[in-house]
Each structure stands twice: as C-alpha cells, then as structure tokens.
Amino acid sequence: MGKVILYIASSLDGYIARSDGDISWLDKYQGGEEDYGYSDFYKNVGASIMGSNTYEKALTLKGGIDNNMPTYVITHRKLKPKADARITLYSGNLPEMINDIQKKTAKNIWLVGGGQVTQSFLKEGLIDEIIISTIPLILEEGISLFGNTREEINLVLTDTKAYKSGIVQTQYKVLR
C-alpha cells in the first residue's frame, strides 16, 4: 500500500506562497540542472491530491497537471475540471478518499498542497511522510504550510540533503 507523502517547497519561515497566492519566488530554483529529487519521487507516485487554489495555480504552469495521473482536487467550489486530464473534484470524507485511492494504486499518493488541505490532512492523521524543500528566503507573511495544527505532531527525521542553491530538503516520517 502506498503512503501519503506531502512533497512541497516552503520559505524558511514556513510559507508556501505569498498572501495573494504568488509563487514566483520559486522561479529561480526551477529549470536548472538540479531537480531536487523530484524525478525519483515522482516515479513512485500513483495519484495526487491538491486544494482548489493549488489546482487553479497548477493549470497556469507548464506541466502543472499530469494529464495521465489521477488528480483529486479538494473543493466545495464549482470548478471546471481540465478536459484532457483525470481530475476528480472531491468534497467528502478524507479518510474514505485515501482508502479509495489506495485500492486503485499501490504507489504513493502525493499531497501537493496547499495550506488548508495540508492542515486538514495533518489533523486527520492522513500524512505518512513529509518532504520539505526549504527555500533560503524569508517571506514574512503569506500562506502558511502548517498554520495552527492545535496539537503536537511528532516527526522522525529520515533524510536531509543540502543543495548548492541553498535549498535544504528534509524528509520526515509522521508518528501517530
């Protein structure tokens, strides 16, 4: 059975986007020789999950949506799914959704983001691993990755890697 893995980039002070959703501060770290382990990670992904704001942002990015991978968008809004992609709009019980996805794929499930979805998954105890690429930048404000979880969440560090760009990627197992 695949794991639910949050694989995401964050500023040093814990923000995944500016307050208006802008992620252009990530641009200078993309497209170079280094992919920060993304290709190896992606080989083992069988489905992705994201919030509606992340989905709308992904639609504007080149390669932002993999048309062949099942993608679940957590939303209560009426969105129009991308016609040539395998998009499921979902607003139900999160544990049931994970159980259903795990029946369909033995690969991992990539929790793409954003902040509200990540926080909901943490509160439900649905994340198995967290891989964060910490960008050497302090935004001071924006969309918080973890927000206020209202309880402690214990993690075990399983790997860390520093890159020439200044990005430090840490991987954690989430303890339940």
18 contacts: CB under 8 Å, gap ≥ 6: 25, 139, 141, 142, 143
Query: What class is the 4-174 domain?
Result: alpha beta
pLDDT digits (tens, 9 = 90+) for 27-63: 999 877 888 999 999 999 999 999 999 998 888 887 7
- pLDDT for position 70: 95
66 contacts: CB under 8 Å, gap ≥ 6: 48, 85
E strand residue ranges, the chain:
4-11, 15-17, 45-51, 71-74, 87-90, 108-113, 129-135, 143-144, 155-162, 168-174
Which residues of the chain register pLDDT less than 70? none
E strand residue ranges, 69-123:
71-74, 87-90, 108-113
Judge if pTM exceeds 0.85: yes
